[in-house]
Amino acid sequence: MPVGNIPAGIAGTGICLPERVLTNQDLEKMVDTSDEWVRTRTGIIERRIIDETMATSDLAVRAGEMALENAGLTPDSVDLIIVATTTPDMYFPSTACLVQEKIGAVKAAAFDISAACTGFIYALAVGSQFIQTGMYKTVLIIGAEALSRAIDWQDRNTCVLFGDGAGAAVLRPAENGYGIGAIEMGADGGGSDLLKVSAIGSPDYRRPGDTGDKSDNRRSGRADYIQMSGPEVFKFAVRIMGECAAKAVAKAGLTERNINLFIPHQANIRIIRAAAKRLRLPEEKVYINVASYGNTSSASIPVALHEALLEGKIVKGDNIVLVGFGAGLTWGAAVIKWAV
C-alpha cells in the first residue's frame, strides 16, 4: 500500500439468501442429470432460488442493511454504494440507486459495476480507493445476483451450477497496519465468448445460436440465457485462481505460510482444491460452502466471508485472501489483514 494512504478495512458484513432450496434431487426431475453426477463434478448439493416476487435489489437491500447493522452504522452515514451484479433489476437506472433509495442512504452516491463472478473483488478494489484517498469514510459494497432468471433449465451443463443470493461489506478507515494490503486484478477480453449472456445492446447478428424464440417452452439456444463453454472455463479457472492469489500474497509482502484463511469464489470444488494446492494450503485454511449455494457469482465471496466470520474462523490480525474469476474473462484477489 502506498505510503500516506488511509488504510481501508471491512467493518461489517451481511448476506441475504432466498428461502427456496433447489436440490440435486429436484433437478433430476427437471433435466437429464443425477445427484451423483453433480456432486462428483462440482461439489454442489443444493442452491437457493429467488422468489418470483423478488428482484436483485431486494436481496441487495437486505444484505446491505445487515452489513450496516453489524458495522454499527446507520444508512445516512453511507457515502457511496457500489453494487456488483450481472442480473440488475433494469438496464438503467443502476441497482445501486434502487438500493440507495430503499435503505434510505440519502447522502450516498451510487453505481453498479459488471465483472461477473469477480464483481465483489472489483467492487472492493474501487470502493477501498475512496477510503484510501480520504474522499469518503463509509462505502457499502454489495454483490447480488438472481441468476436463476438467466438460466436455461433445459441445459444440464449450466442449470446445475448457479444459485441466487447477495453478500455485502462496509468499508471504513482501519488502524495502521490493518485492512486491505494488496489487490491483484486482470482481464482477458479474448475469452468473452466462453461465458456470456447477450443483452439489449447486442444486435441479432452478434448473437450466435439465438433461435429468436422467446416462448417459455423453447429456451435452448436463446442468447439471453447463460451460455458457457464448460471445459475451457474450467481450465482457465484452475490456472488463474491460484496464480492470481499467489501474486496478491506476494504483493502484500507475505508468503502462503502467512495466510490464515483462504476464501475463494465458490464455483466448483475441484477448482477450489486446485487453487489451494497451488498455494500449498491445508484444507482447514480453505473456506468452502459451494455445496449449500452453488455458484452465486458476485455474491459468492461475500457470502462465504460472512459465514466464516459467523463461525469464528476469522479474528483480528488474521491474513485473509479473497480470490475470484468470472466471465470477461476477469479475475481478482485481495489480501486483508483483519481489523475488527
Half-sphere exposure of 45 (CA within 13 A, CB side): 4
Residue type for position 204:
D
CA distance 100 to 102: 6
Where helices occur in the chain by DSSP H, the ranges are 24-28, 35-42, 56-71, 95-103, 119-132, 230-251, 269-278, 290-293, 300-310
Peptide bond into 329 cis (omega under 30): yes
* Residue 78 near residue 105, CB atoms below 8 Å: yes
3-state secondary structure of 76: helix
End-to-end Cα separation, the chain, in angstroms: 19
Task: Identify any residues that bridge with 23 across adjacent strands, giving them in sequence order.
Answer: 46
Q: Looking at the annotation, which residues are catalytic?
A: 117, 265, 295
DSSP codes of every residue in 79-138: -EEEEE-SS-SSSSS-HHHHHHHHHT-TT-EEEEE--GGGHHHHHHHHHHHHHHTTS-S-
Peptide bond into 231 cis (omega under 30): no
User: Among candidates 62, 331, 32, 58, which has minimal Cα distance to 188?
Assistant: 331
